[in-house]
Amino acid sequence: MNSDYKKHIRIPSLKRKFFIRNLFSMLLPCLIPLLLLGSMAIFISVWYIRLDAERRHETMLNQYNELIQIMAAEVDSLSLSFDRDAKISMRLDSLLSTDTQSYENLEALFYLKNIIDVPAYSKPYIHSIYIYSENDKQRFLSSREGLVRLDNFYDQAWFAGYKALTGSVEIATEVRDIRQYAFEKQPTRVVSLYKRLSPRSAVRQGGVIVVNMIPSYFEKTYEALNEMPQSSFVITDARDQLIMQSGRAVSEELLAAIPLPEDERILQLDKDSFHLTVKKTPRLGWNLISIVPRSAMYKLPVTLIVATCILAVASLLLCAALAWLLTRKNYRQLGSIIQILESADSMAPAHQMPGGVRDIYEFIMMNIVETFVEQNYLQVQLSERLYKMQAFEFKALQSQINPHFLYNTLNSIYWKTFQLTKSDNVGCQMIALLSDILQYALDSSVKSVPLKEEIAHIRSYLDIQQLRYKDRFEVIWDIPEEAYACQVLKLSIQPSIENSIQYGMESRPFLRLKVKARLEGQLLKVTIIDDGPGIEPQRLFQLRSALQEETELPGHVGLTNTNKRLLLQYGSAARIRLLNKPGRGVAVTLQYPQ
C-alpha cells in the first residue's frame, strides 16, 4: 500500500493536472476582471473621444461658417451702398466716366473711398476692395490706390472673372494670386468675392463689387483653434477649387474622394484612416472640411490596449509562478497526508483512522467539520451564558424598585389629602395629574405611541407646572392634523419641554414655548422652541459633544437619555438637533422615522 501511494505521487501527469488546475483557478479570477475592465475602458474612451472630437470639430466648423457669413455680409453691406443707394450710384458713375476732376468729383471720390476704406482697413481678413461700374474709361475704385485705370493697374485678372459671371450666381468666388511689384518672389494669394451691380439706366450697363479676402487669415485662426497637431483643415469653393489648407498636408486623392453635403448639414464620417467632418456654407457654397487621422484621435485607446495586453501577460506570468508554488506546496501536503496514511497503515496509535472512514480526504473533512462544530458549540454555550448573566443582572436592577408601589402610594396620598381638605384642591389636582403621568410611564408593553397620545400626557405635565408657576408661561401648539397619527417614542418629548421650563424661567418672568410638528415625507420632526436666555457657548459645546458621543452630561440627563433611546430605536438619523441663540432661546428638534 505504501508503494502505491509513492507511485501515485510521482506520476508526472498528476503534477501537471495539479498545476493546470491551480493556474486556471488563479488566472480566471484575475484575467476576467482585467479584460472586462480593460475592454470597458477602451470602449468608453473610444466613444467619448469620438463624441468629443465630433463636437469640437462641429463647433470649429460652425465658427468658420459664422466668419464666412460675416464676409458675405460685408459684400451685402457694400451692395446696399453702391447698388441700392441712387445718390451713391450716380456719384460713382459720374466719377468713373468724367475726365475732369472738379471739386464735386474730388469730394465724391473722398466720400466713396471712405465707404470702402472702413471695412477694408478694419477687417483683418480683407486685402482690398474694388468697385467697378461699366464705363468707357475702364476706371474703377480701389481701397488701396483710390481711382485707377484697369490697363495701368497691377491686378487685372479680376476683370476676366467679372466677365465670366453668370446671371444665376449671387456671389461668386475665385482664388487668385496678386503680384503688386515685379520683384516680389511670392505673390499674395487672395479669394475674390464677386457681386454684380444691377444696371440702373441705359448709360450704366452694370458693374461689380470685388472683395479680396486673405486665406492666410483662416490658417492663423485654425492654428489658434486646433487642439490636434496632426489634423488638417481645408476650404474648397463650390467648384471644389482649393481656397486654403492648414495643418497637415492632405493628398489630392483624399480630397477628391470626400463626399460633400448637398445642404448645410454637418457630415461626420470615416474615410480610410481618417475621420472627416464636412459642412457646406450657405450662399457662397464653400466646403469646410476637417480631417483628423484616426491614429491621432484614438491614441489613448491604443495606449489602453497596449497597457491591457502588458497587464494580461504580466498576470499570466505571475499566476503561473504562483500556481507552480502552490502545486509544490500541495505536493508537500500530499506527502504529509501519505505519511499519515503510512502511520495509519503501521497501526501507530497517534495516526489511527476512526471507524467508518473510507479515505484520507474524508478523514480530513471529518476532522475539520468536527473541530468546526465543537468551536461553534462552545461559542453558543458562551453566548448563552453571557445572555443569562445579562438577564439576571437586568432582573436584579429591576427588582431594586417597584414602581407600582409609588403609584399606589400617590393614590393613597390623594385620598388622604381629599379627606383632610374636604375638597379637590391644588394638591389633589397635582397628585392626580402626576398619577396619570406615572401610570402612562409604567405601561411597558409599548415603546411607540401616536403623537396625539404623547401630547395628551404632555398636557398633564404642563397642567402641573401651570399650577406650580401660576401662569408664568404659555405654550403654543403648531401641529397639523395629519401629524397626530404619527408614531413617536413614548416619553421622548416631555424631557425637552421640562428643560425649557426649568432653565428658561430662571431669568424670565414669563416664558413662551412653542411645540411644532412637521411631516416631511416619511420623517416626523417635532421642535420645542422657547424664548429663554439660551445656552452658554461652552455649555452648548459640552451638550452637543455628549449627544454625539452618547454620554451623559450632568444637568441634562433627561436630554442625553432621550437621545440614547432615539438612537437605539431608530438609528443615527434620529439624533437630537440643537439650535441656540444666546439671549433669545433654544430650539430642540426630535426626528421620528415613520
Mean pLDDT over 296-303 rounds to 78
In 3D space, the residue among 545, 569, 543, 572 whose CA is nearest the CA of residue 558 turns out to be 543
pLDDT exceeds cutoff 80 at 167:
no
Q: How confident is the model at residue 114 (pLDDT cuts 50, 70, 90)?
A: very high
What pLDDT is stored for residue 343 in this prediction?
53
Mean pLDDT over 299-327 rounds to 84
Mean pLDDT over 444-473 rounds to 85
Q: How confident is the model at residue 350 (pLDDT cuts 50, 70, 90)?
A: very low
What is the distance between the alpha carbons of residues 77 and 80, in angstroms, rounded to a whole number? 5
16: burial class by Cβ within 10 Å (0-12, 13-18, 19+)? exposed
Query: What residues have CB less than 8 Å from 574, skipping those under 6 apart?
Result: 566, 567, 590, 591, 592, 593
Higher-pLDDT residue of 422, 16: 16
Higher-pLDDT residue of 315, 337: 315
Q: Give the tens place of pLDDT for each residue, 276-293.
A: 889 898 888 889 998 888
What pLDDT is stored for residue 26 in this prediction?
79
Give the rounded percent of residues in the chain with a pLDDT score beyond 90. 20
* Superfamily of structural domain 446-593: Histidine kinase-like ATPase, C-terminal domain (3.30.565.10)
Q: Give the tens place of pLDDT for each residue, 78-98.
A: 998 888 888 888 888 888 888
Which amino acid is it at 329? K
What pLDDT is stored for residue 582 in this prediction?
84
**What letter does residue 474 receive in the DSSP assignment?**
E
pLDDT exceeds cutoff 90 at 485:
yes
Mean pLDDT over 438-449 rounds to 70
In 3D space, the residue among 529, 532, 530 whose CA is nearest the CA of residue 517 turns out to be 529
What pLDDT is stored for residue 487 in this prediction?
94
Own/partner pairs for 136-143, CB < 8 Å, 24+ apart?
Answer: 136/97, 137/96, 137/97, 137/99, 139/95, 139/96, 139/97, 140/96, 141/92, 141/95, 141/96, 141/109, 141/112, 141/113, 141/116, 143/113, 143/116, 143/117
Higher-pLDDT residue of 167, 470: 470
pLDDT exceeds cutoff 60 at 360:
no
pLDDT exceeds cutoff 90 at 479:
yes
Higher-pLDDT residue of 489, 447: 489
What is the distance between the alpha carbons of residues 553 and 546, in angstroms, rounded to a whole number? 6
Q: Give the tens place of pLDDT for each residue, 206-221.
A: 899 999 999 888 888 7
pLDDT exceeds cutoff 80 at 526:
yes
Cell of 178: 496678386
Rounded to the nearest integer, the mean pLDDT of the chain is 79
pLDDT exceeds cutoff 90 at 327:
no
Mean pLDDT over 539-547 rounds to 86
Mean pLDDT over 98-112 rounds to 84
pTM: 0.47
Q: How confident is the model at residue 419 (pLDDT cuts 50, 70, 90)?
A: low
Q: How confident is the model at residue 398 (pLDDT cuts 50, 70, 90)?
A: very low
What pLDDT is stored for residue 413 in this prediction?
60
* Superfamily of structural domain 85-213: PAS domain (3.30.450.20)
Q: How confident is the model at residue 400 (pLDDT cuts 50, 70, 90)?
A: very low
Higher-pLDDT residue of 167, 60: 60
What pLDDT is stored for residue 484 in this prediction?
94
Mean pLDDT over 174-189 rounds to 87
3-state secondary structure of 190: strand
- Please state which of the ranges 46-50, 73-77, 397-401 shows the lowest mean pLDDT: 397-401
Q: Give the tens place of pLDDT for each residue, 117-126.
A: 999 999 999 9
Residue spans of the domains in the chain: they are: 85-213, 358-398, 446-593
- Please state which of the ranges 119-128, 223-232, 347-356, 548-557 shows the lowest mean pLDDT: 347-356
Higher-pLDDT residue of 353, 429: 429
What pLDDT is stored for residue 184 in this prediction?
80
